[in-house]
Structure 1
Amino acid sequence: MITTIRVSQDGQGDFNTIQAAINSIPAQMPHETCITIQSGVYKEKLEINKPHLHLRGVGDVSIVYDDFAKKPGASGQPIGTFASSSTYITAGNIKIDNITFENPAGDGDVVGQAVALYVDADQVAFRNCRFIAAQDTLYLGRPKEQFTNQSGRNYFENCRIVGDIDFIFGSATAYFHQCEIVSLNRNKAINGYITAAATPIDKEYGFIFNQCKLLSDADEHTVYLGRPWRDYAKTVFIDCWMDRHVHPEGWHDWEKVCVNTTVYYGEYGSVGPGSNVSGRVPWAKQLEEEDLTKFTLSHCFGGDISWTRWRDK
């Protein structure tokens, strides 16, 4: 059984806002609810806090909010990274397709972090979605040592993620399949870092990029594949196309020499102008073909991947 709710800004749906539709769902709803969202720009600071949801954009759908870390809160102090998020997902078993999540607050040098989407939940899957911001676009779970770590498994298929500084970051296990990873041009000597994983020491997998395209109009050699937000960061790129913006060293240690022996940074089958691995840092791994069995979707997610599939596939 599936309950369907229609959201439309023209007054022809069940609700005019996405949050109102989510709030209408009983907390203990035992079956899936499908929320279809008609074309429009929805300026909402959204919390998706009910499980067993499928949010589906019909046409061109954007969820937009422009909070930012340096913005003063009620106390007069900056609200910080977490509170800057445009959308929060805090319930599991969520599917989302054909929706843009955007935080247009602007340049991180001016506004600080401005998160388009925060996810701290298990079994959350995205397809044909777009995530657009600058610094800290996609926040996938707070670090374990700071809060109870409920961040779980997140899946991204055929998505486009746009940002510059640490714009895919957090403690989740996240698998990116055939996505476009777009680094913005900040016109600086170093234009950014794609990832900043905070993988807990007891988690086997962090971020896995499979058959993705790393794109940018930034100058060559100005963007790193990643740097470790926490000391046991885990990130791998498998069979990815890399443009010339990728720095020859690949990885940065965030001025923490200790991480040279604790992180797991790996790469296999890279192609494109930025794929030459001869200059990669010596503490990163060049994976062998036999290593790839450890990085299949099923293996990374512990066997059950049914939640990553849509009924139309």
Structure 2
Amino acid sequence: MKTALLTVCLLLLALLAAARPVAELVVAPDGSGDFRTVQAAVDAVPDHSAASAVIRIKKGIYREKLVIPARKTHVTLIGEDRDQTIITYDDHSGANGIDTYSSHSVLVQGNDFRAENLTFRNTAGRTAGQAVALHIEADRATFRNCRIVGDQDTLFLASAYTRQYFLNCHIEGTTDFIFGASTAVFDRCTIVSKKNSHITAASTPPEQPYGFVFLDCRLTADSALATNVSLGRPWRPAASVAYLRCELGPHIRPAGWDNWKNPENEKTARYAEYRSRGPGAQPARRVAWSRQLSHKEATRYTLRRIFGGPQPWQPL
């Protein structure tokens, strides 16, 4: 009886410890904080914590290949200044055995991750091929006021049935620079194309109702090299991408979408728009296999519905 009671008490103490808020950690490159690298601060966070661990990152350039492992849950990274707090690396596919999946500058595997006021960057360059700045496998990951900067394959939303939310973020790249299988919402974000290519390459599973959803975003180009850009092409046949109330610059091609040189994808890809505006919004000239949503259909694109399911999530 006493042994059982002691076991229960120890279990309760362990649960309380896991739920206890973790003191804020500070990262500063000049040594004035608790750690000089972001990775060292992440490593110091208790495993499988049920409480948020806040890591405040001072301005500076952090050249490190950062990993937030699956055991590091509820980690929050807050930068001092979005444009001057930069986590960066330069790996790319084909270098020293690296492929797309391992080319990341930052890899997020721990669920319930949050990031604010940070830049995630890959500087491999435009001719390097696939070079991921931010690779996310975590469920319930939130990014606010962040910059995600690279060239090909900038943002990899890798895992099906995971959910990510991006609010007021700046995302730029060249080819397929937002790609993967997750359900992700981009809310009031700026999406910048740097050359003629494709913005998205979704690989949404056919049974997953939502893929990438862009809400009230601004699509623009930062160079004369981007004058013929598609809204997306299907990495997998059931790719799901929707743009709602977005402002499209003149760099968006009239046809809107691309079938990745496979007409069979036209039967299965789920591509839609609702009330696009700007010079790139030409609904009458879109490919016949894409859709213009009705008002009733558009009302279904709420965070509650998109991030619903057996374990609903409300990121706000």
Check conservation: 1:67, 1:85, Cα contact below 8 A: yes
Q: What are the within-5 Å matches in structure 2 for residues 133-172 of structure 1? A: 133-142=150-159, 149=160, 151-172=161-182
Question: Post-superposition shift, 1:32?
Answer: 1.1
TM-aligned CA deviation for residue 202 of structure 1: 1.5
> In 2, distance between residues paired with 1:2 and 1:293?
39
Matches within 5 A, 1:233-252: 233-252=239-258
Answering whether residue 300 of structure 2 is matched by residue 278 of structure 1, we say: no
SS at 1:247's partner residue?
coil
Whether 1:130 and 2:147 are equivalent positions in the alignment is yes
Q: Does structure 2 retain, via aligned residues, the 8 Å contact 1:99–1:128?
A: yes
Matched, 1:268 2:274: yes
Partner of 2:73: 51
Match of 1:68, as an amino acid?
H
Map of 2:114 onto structure 1? 95
Report the secondary structure of 2:39's partner residue: helix
Match of 1:194, as an amino acid?
I
Aligned twin of 1:206: 211
Aligned counterpart, 1:178: 188
* 1:254 counterpart = 2:274: no
1:206-249 CA distances to partner (integer Å, 9 max, x unpaired)?
00000000001346751000000000000000000000000100
Distance 1:219 1:88, change over 3 A: closer
CA contact (8 A) 1:183 1:218 kept: no
Q: Return the alpha-carbon distance in structure 2 between the equivalents of residues 20 and 129 of structure 1.
A: 21
Query: Structure 2: which amino acid aligns with 1:63?
Result: I
Alignment-derived partner of residue 145 in structure 1: none
How many percent of aligned residue pairs carry the same amino acid? 42
| Greater gyration radius | 2
CA distance in 1, matches of 2:49, 2:301: 34
SS at match of 1:258: helix
1:293 is displaced (CA, Å) by 2.1
Deviation at 1:30, TM superposition (A): 3.0
Contact 1:38 1:58 in 2 (8 A): yes
CA distance in 1, matches of 2:146, 2:274: 26
Of 42, 52, 75, the match for 2:62: 42
| Alignment-mate amino acid for residue 96 of structure 1 | A
- Paired with 1:164 and 1:212, the residues of 2 have a C-alpha distance of 18
Shift of 1:305: 4.0
**Alignment gaps of 5+ in structure 2:** 1-20
Structure 1 residue runs of 4 or more that deviate by more than 4 Å after TM superposition: none
Q: Which moved more, 1:295-304 or 1:110-119?
A: 295-304
CA distance in 2 between counterparts of 1:252 and 1:100 reads 30
Question: Greater strand share, 1 or 2?
Answer: 1
Match of 1:61 among 85, 90, 93: 85
Is the deviation greater in 197-206 or in 26-35? 26-35
TM-score, with structure 1 as normaliser: 0.90
**8 Å CA contact retained: 1:160, 1:180:** yes
Unmatched 5+ residue regions in structure 1?
A: 74-78, 143-148, 186-190
The two structures have a TM-score, normalised by structure 2, of 0.89
